[in-house]
Structure 1
Amino acid sequence: MSHSRNQRLPLIVVALFLVMDFSLGASALVHVPEDTGGGTEVAVLSGPGLPSPLMCGDEECPEKDRSPSIRPVDSGWPVEDPGWWFGYWYDLDSDGMDDRLQRIITGERTSVSTTSITGSDGLPTVAIVVDYSWHPGQSDIDAIRTVLLDHGWKEEGSWFDPLRILDSIVIDHVPVGSLIEIWLLDGVVMIEEQTVIVPLLDKASRGSKVRDSEVFDETMRDFGYDGSGVVIAILDTGVDNEHFSLDDFSDDNNDNEKEPDELADPKWLGGCDATSWNSQDCDDGSIDPDDADGHGTHVAGIALGTGDERRINQGYAPGAYLVDVKVMSDAGATNSAATLRGIQWVMDNADHDWGNNESSEGIDVMSMSFGSASDPQGDDPGDNGTSAEARAVDEAADAGVVPVAAIGNDGRRRITSVGASDSAITVGAIDDENTIERGDDMIASYSNSGPREDDGDDNEWEELKPTVVAPGSNIMSSQHAASSSTLPGAPKPLAEDSYTQMSGTSMSCPAVAGFVAVMLQINDDLNPQEIRKTWAGLRTQYNGKVERTVRFWHRRWQHDSRGDARRRCGSREQQY
């Protein structure tokens, strides 16, 4: 987005009060432990609820020194803050190995990887993220490849993806028997289990005062704001952008067989299929991923659909451009490697000239309607924003992309994956009771609540999630082209002008992403941090009273977020 506006932040605030509900779902008075002056190293703990210790042969592995150290000549300076790994949520015993992986090593748990195969040791392989204290160089890559190959790992068809945005290497098909040797490599400070990412499943936009209605007199459209000139990346299952609500701005096109470059005013600018182990599908943005699931097309319609020539089922920012980033497979559940690659691609193209026109440059907003699948072996509350996906979202925000994420549909206190990021605008769902009036809106029963787990820093506001709630129940939006054929090579069906209803925080997330596009149309000087603080700083009035304090939410949700203190004492029990 290259155009400029002279309006300042006060206009944004006025507009937000005019059009949206702002409700924090939950937060807490977060306990911040005192600095004992003992440095950043955390002693390895043992006790109830903790995994069995790592074994090196017949003996317990010695404690590994994970403090930042002198890097190899061919490695790079770290791109992340040193020491973040000491607060990694799924490492309760502070040994540098994800507790979930430790339980796989000891046979207490099996791999959940969506790409798992039988390894050379006869066990299902795992998908991991290997984190370093420096940015891994060629010697690090060679060393980890050697370990993998020694354990029967096959490079062909496997993920092996050194990231640029994190100090990490993403790998799948990893034999369980290789994990200890990888952990022992120089510079390795954490081995994470890849998260399994799943989708989080006309009145909505009217009830938010975005479109005209018989209830609200002044709307954003009356002021001329529709997200024009703003670019939204939809990170999802792909988008069938030939749908008449997603193909062009004017809705003059009625031929769904036309490619975007054949249209006079296409919404689609570029795309990336991050679900393929072949990284070339995410190179130059020429890939136009299809949606065989339907989730991504529905989400895109909510964020930026024009509603076709009838202009009925319009999204929140029908003037916004579309970038299609496929991070979930047609089957839905996908390892987080695809999420990391997709976010990295978004960052790489944050200032890209798409060659369309001067108003369609870069990527301004990314909408992420997904989260981690619930672990079948534990009622976990999510994480504290230290997972690879959450850290990648923080990097994207630092690069100028506004991250908007769904909070999840477990109906309990649980915040995971991208939604747990410090920088994410994390969105919960309300049920609008199928009316435009907002007085009868209620938090949806399926919508997760906060606060997020404490990451141990001194910023209590990062734990306050969701940041905002938006309509998520029975939302009508674009329907993908479902195929009835199972024959290989059968012609792909094309989306036309059909609409369908879905419910979930997946539907709430793109509503907020579209509204962020409107904010950026009003003032394109706003950065992601300012936008998030603007949303988080507002509250809806309840019974004529505005509640603004952290303590109010702490009392309301009856949550004692002293997880960090319990974590350091080794007394918090949790199964995975």
Structure 2
Amino acid sequence: MTNPCTLNRLIEVLMLHHGDMRAAAITVLTILAFAPLSSSSIGIGDYQESPWWESTSMDRDGDKIHDAIWLAIDSELYDWVDAENTIGVIVDFDHTPTSQDQEMLEREVDFQTQFRYHLIDSIAGRIGVEDLIEASRLPGVVLIELDGILTTQMSDVNDIHGIPMIWEDTGYTGEGSVVSIIDTGIDSDHVGLDDLDDDNSTNDSKVIAFYDAVNNPDKTNGTEIKAYDDQGHGTHCAGITAGTGAPDFVNIGVAPQAQLVGVKVLDEGGSGSFATVMAGMEWTVDKRHDFNIRAASMSLGGFGLIEWTSSEEESVNRMANEMVRSGVALFIAAGNSAVSAQIGTPGSAEDVITVGALDKDTSIAVYSSQGPTEEGRVKPNIAFVGSSVMAPEANSGD
């Protein structure tokens, strides 16, 4: 399997030392073209000398409860605690949780399970605030994390990046590749996203599968639900990635011959929980061979309470790293927190390709998060134009 650290280092060299926009674009398209599909993932434990939870910055007081949970309970910025006095959490174990672990949580602390993962050793759900301490003492539990909130990161760019020249020089336009758009969904009826050749007489759908982790999480085969987008951001990102440019063929995507898989993890308001986003990420890995998924795009990130606690050990960062180690090249927005902020979750994950934003004059956009990560790593890895970008508008045909 391609070493993700090597890929990241290559991109850093291209962008930070040479500043060559065209070289960076070629790198991205090369990753898309040749990203291998691994049959197995490399566990996080293989990269660490000691368990991550023994030294995580998320639990400075050592009580096995994410420090941000106590802040969230008292926060007036967001209603983390509902009317039943429960809070969304992610329970981390020292082993891959089984159905018995799930039953233990539900029995001992009245846990309301939402998702049980296998790429990371965690179970997501809701728990009564009064049961947090008891849950932290259950066998196998190493940390209880706050289930944070992720939101969309909104930021003719092809000419600026030399994309048409790359199409001409390499002949590569995305043909044969599939990209997962993990976002608000995709409007698969949009004329620029409904097929590959814009010929209604042919049957060559651009969006070949769809998973709705928000409203239909149990329908997992990828073909049970017609792709939709009730917010618009995912369609915008899908068009930038692989739109054909129809009907006028002016605003064409970077890889117009690539096909897409839609993964809805954000709701109609453009936000979603860590738990739901991770369900979509894990689904993408599970279906990577079924749909030949080589890369994934996540233009989303943490805010407020979570933005400044973007530890490498956060569950969504661990899930992101596992996606890359499973063979899916993962591109994540750096965020819109400007120069003063660190890179937020999940763009701070070590093995992902974190993308900053440029203005059309190729200067760093004033809103683009400029890093570094909490651990001091250089992020973002690359930067592309993110201001005044034309792309498909969901449910409009424009």
> Normalization by structure 2: what TM-score?
0.84
Question: Which position in structure 2 is the counterpart of 1:298?
Answer: 236
- Is the CA contact 1:111–1:126 (under 8 Å) kept in the aligned structure 2? no
- Is the CA contact 1:238–1:326 (under 8 Å) kept in the aligned structure 2? yes
Question: Which position in structure 1 is the counterpart of 2:371?
Answer: 450
The CA distance in 1 between the partners of 2:149 and 2:182, in whole Å, is 15
The CA distance in 2 between the partners of 1:347 and 1:113, in whole Å, is 32
- Is the CA contact 2:188–2:227 (under 8 Å) kept in the aligned structure 1? no
Secondary structure of 1:325's counterpart equals strand
- Is the CA contact 2:180–2:263 (under 8 Å) kept in the aligned structure 1? yes
Question: Which position in structure 2 is the counterpart of 1:45?
Answer: none
Give 1:117's aligned amino acid. Answer: D
- Cα deviation per residue 1:181-200 (whole Å; 9 max; x = unaligned)? 11010111010001101001
- Is the CA contact 1:252–1:309 (under 8 Å) kept in the aligned structure 2? no
Residue 113 of structure 1: how far off its partner (Å): 6.0
Question: Can you give the 5+ residue segments of structure 1 that lack an aligned partner in the other structure?
Answer: 1-9, 23-77, 212-217, 254-261, 353-360, 434-440, 455-459, 482-494, 499-576
Question: Which position in structure 2 is the counterpart of 1:416?
Answer: 344
1:195-234, aligned counterparts within 5 Å? 195-201=148-154, 203-211=156-164, 218-234=165-181
The CA distance in 1 between the partners of 2:194 and 2:55, in whole Å, is 45
Which of 140, 149, 170 is 1:187 aligned to? 140
Secondary structure of 1:340's counterpart equals helix
- Is the CA contact 2:342–2:373 (under 8 Å) kept in the aligned structure 1? yes
- Is the CA contact 2:97–2:118 (under 8 Å) kept in the aligned structure 1? no
Give 1:396's aligned amino acid. Answer: M
The CA distance in 2 between the partners of 1:331 and 1:241, in whole Å, is 19
Distance 1:263 1:328, change over 3 A: farther
Q: Is 2:98 the partner of 1:160?
A: no
The CA distance in 2 between the partners of 1:84 and 1:110, in whole Å, is 31
- Is the CA contact 1:382–1:415 (under 8 Å) kept in the aligned structure 2? no
Bigger-Rg structure (1/2): 1
Question: Which position in structure 2 is the counterpart of 1:549?
Answer: none
Give 1:407's aligned amino acid. Answer: A
Which of 342, 347, 354 is 1:426 aligned to? 354
- Cα deviation per residue 1:548-570 (whole Å; 9 max; x = unaligned)? xxxxxxxxxxxxxxxxxxxxxxx
Distance 1:18 1:102, change over 3 A: closer
The CA distance in 1 between the partners of 2:77 and 2:365, in whole Å, is 32
Distance 1:302 1:382, change over 3 A: farther
The CA distance in 2 between the partners of 1:406 and 1:428, in whole Å, is 6
Q: Is 2:398 the partner of 1:477?
A: no
- Is the CA contact 1:235–1:324 (under 8 Å) kept in the aligned structure 2? yes
Which of 316, 321, 326 is 2:259 aligned to? 321
Question: Which position in structure 2 is the counterpart of 1:127?
Answer: 88
Residue 263 of structure 1: how far off its partner (Å): 5.0
Distance 1:219 1:142, change over 3 A: closer
- Is the CA contact 2:152–2:233 (under 8 Å) kept in the aligned structure 1? yes
Residue 450 of structure 1: how far off its partner (Å): 1.1
Distance 1:113 1:467, change over 3 A: farther
Secondary structure of 1:420's counterpart equals coil
- Is the CA contact 1:127–1:171 (under 8 Å) kept in the aligned structure 2? yes
Question: Which position in structure 1 is the counterpart of 2:101?
Answer: 140
- Cα deviation per residue 1:375-413 (whole Å; 9 max; x = unaligned)? 2xx9x5342321111100111111100010001001132
Secondary structure of 1:469's counterpart equals strand
Question: Which position in structure 2 is the counterpart of 1:339?
Answer: 277
- Is the CA contact 1:196–1:372 (under 8 Å) kept in the aligned structure 2? yes
Question: Which position in structure 2 is the counterpart of 1:87?
Answer: 55
Question: Which position in structure 1 is the counterpart of 2:211?
Answer: 272
Secondary structure of 2:218's counterpart equals helix
- Cα deviation per residue 1:428-451 (whole Å; 9 max; x = unaligned)? 001014xxxxxxx21000000111
Question: Which position in structure 1 is the counterpart of 2:188?
Answer: 241
- Is the CA contact 1:196–1:335 (under 8 Å) kept in the aligned structure 2? yes
Secondary structure of 1:279's counterpart equals coil
The CA distance in 1 between the partners of 2:57 and 2:282, in whole Å, is 23
1:470-509, aligned counterparts within 5 Å? 470-481=384-395, 495-496=396-397, 498=398
Give 1:474's aligned amino acid. Answer: S
Question: Can you give the 5+ residue segments of structure 2 that lack an aligned partner in the other structure?
Answer: 1-9, 26-41
Residue 142 of structure 1: how far off its partner (Å): 1.8
The CA distance in 2 between the partners of 1:231 and 1:113, in whole Å, is 38
Q: Is 2:323 the partner of 1:370?
A: no
Residue 422 of structure 1: how far off its partner (Å): 0.9
Residue 414 of structure 1: how far off its partner (Å): 2.1
Question: Which position in structure 2 is the counterpart of 1:544?
Answer: none
Distance 1:339 1:87, change over 3 A: farther
- Cα deviation per residue 1:254-273 (whole Å; 9 max; x = unaligned)? xxxxxxxx952111110100
Q: Please, what is the CA RMSD of the aligned residues? A: 2.4
Residue 140 of structure 1: how far off its partner (Å): 1.8
Which of 105, 113, 118 is 2:83 aligned to? 118
Distance 1:474 1:83, change over 3 A: same
The CA distance in 1 between the partners of 2:55 and 2:225, in whole Å, is 38
The CA distance in 1 between the partners of 2:202 and 2:393, in whole Å, is 21
Question: Which position in structure 2 is the counterpart of 1:286?
Answer: 224
Secondary structure of 1:405's counterpart equals strand
- Is the CA contact 2:185–2:264 (under 8 Å) kept in the aligned structure 1? yes
Distance 1:160 1:79, change over 3 A: farther
1:400-411, aligned counterparts within 5 Å? 400-411=327-338
- Is the CA contact 1:408–1:414 (under 8 Å) kept in the aligned structure 2? no
- Is the CA contact 1:350–1:399 (under 8 Å) kept in the aligned structure 2? no
